[in-house]
Chains A and B, each alone.
Chain A
Amino acid sequence: MRQTRFVALVLGSGALSGLLLGAANIVLVEPYLDAAIMDEARAGITTTDAGEIEMYWFEHNEYRQWQKAGSVAAASLLGTSVSALYALVYLVYSNSLPGATQTAKMRVLAAAMWASLYVVPFIKYPPVLPGDGDAATLEMRTMWYVALVAVSGAAAIALHRVSLAMPSKGVIFLAAAWVAIVSVSMVAMPANPDTILTPVETLNEFRAASFASVTIYWAAFGLLLLALWGRFGRSLKIGTRKDGFV
């Protein structure tokens, strides 16, 4: 029951933070996506008939409104999904996560997941705008992206487990080991092979907006979870013997 209530608080925080990600996406990132998709759509016009062109843009704008609404729903679903992994990892490692209190442990885990599951792939495979992706390389790019996230996340968990049997001074060594593993993986994995046509300045602005949006999700998730935990869950003491944990 205690675990179930904890999971409900985490998933609820994930869903609401996902909505915030969707809102941040609309405000910060959509201007760049709109411009890039507009360029693609402009290139797709094959008629000179004014009426057909007017209908083309009408349908295009309707479709874009549907996609923007979809991105908010998708953000909430993605936020919920990622928070499910957070709940799973927290329930398994709550006894051993760094931090003197449960709220400190929650903050540490959120920061660790943001760094290992988002920042690492962002550095090696930063997002690109529509129009810069080659469908022929999608499968390969997806495979390497997933591989890097898996290596980063698995290395973090494996090294944390090793740290449980080490003195506290060894934690710094293990953190350095994680950085080394991730760095070697980044160097060993191939770069995005696609030709990027977007001007560098525009691309960098888009990537900064993208980074800010996802970081807003993780910050909001951590703050919201702590707020809900303080209101509804502090007495649950997840990770204690009383809760069935050993």
Chain B
Amino acid sequence: MTQVQLHALPKIAYSLAITLAVIFAVGVFVMGFDQGHILSPVLGQQAFDTMYLHELSHDLRHTAGFPCH
């Protein structure tokens, strides 16, 4: 009979896990998908018109394969 070895998952602090998840989600959204959303609380409609972060990361979006415009 084949032996089956069960691997326990390691413990990782919730705070560290949440921090890493936030860095990933926010960073990828800002660099890959933002169309003015991030700066809209500060700039209002102007953020969607100028899309400052979109323009900043524009070339990388095309290179990395994100849908850009």
Q: Do A and B bind each other?
A: yes
Chain A residues with CB under 8 Å of chain B are 3-4, 7, 11, 21-22, 25, 29-30, 33, 66-68, 70-71, 73-75, 77-78, 80-82, 84-85, 87-88, 91-96, 118, 121-122, 125-130, 133, 135, 138, 141-142, 145, 164-167, 169, 210, 213-214, 239, 243-246
A80, B23: Cβ atoms under 8 Å? yes
Instruction: Tell me the nearest residue of chain B to A240, going by C-beta.
Output: B10
Instruction: Tell me the nearest residue of chain B to A72, going by C-beta.
Output: B60
A122, B31: Cβ atoms under 8 Å? no
Query: B9 at the A/B interface (Cβ < 8 Å)?
Result: yes
A70 to B34, CA, bound (A): 15
Task: Write out the residue numbers on chain B whose beta carbons fall within 8 Å of the beta carbon of A84.
Answer: 20-21, 23-24, 27
18 A-B contacts (beta carbon < 8 Å):
A3-B12, A25-B63, A29-B62, A33-B62, A74-B60, A78-B64, A80-B27, A84-B20, A84-B21, A87-B20, A92-B12, A92-B17, A95-B9, A118-B65, A130-B58, A138-B69, A141-B67, A243-B10
Query: B48 at the A/B interface (Cβ < 8 Å)?
Result: no
A165, B4: Cβ atoms under 8 Å? yes
B65, A167: Cβ atoms under 8 Å? no
Counting chain B residues whose Cβ lies within 8 A of the other chain, the interface size class is 35 or more
Query: How far is the CB of A108 from the nearest CB of chain B, in Å?
Result: 14
A70 to B24, CA, bound (A): 19
A22, B11: Cβ atoms under 8 Å? no
Query: How far is the CB of B1 from the nearest CB of chain A, in Å?
Result: 10
Task: Write out the residue numbers on chain B whose beta carbons fall within 8 Å of the beta carbon of A245.
Answer: 10-11
17 more contacts with CB within 8 A, not counting A7-B20, A92-B9, A142-B33, are A3-B13, A3-B16, A11-B23, A21-B60, A67-B58, A74-B56, A81-B31, A85-B20, A88-B21, A91-B12, A96-B7, A127-B65, A130-B58, A130-B68, A135-B69, A138-B68, A214-B63
Task: Write out the residue numbers on chain B whose beta carbons fall within 8 Å of the beta carbon of A118.
Answer: 65
Query: How far is the CB of B21 from the nearest CB of chain A, in Å?
Result: 6
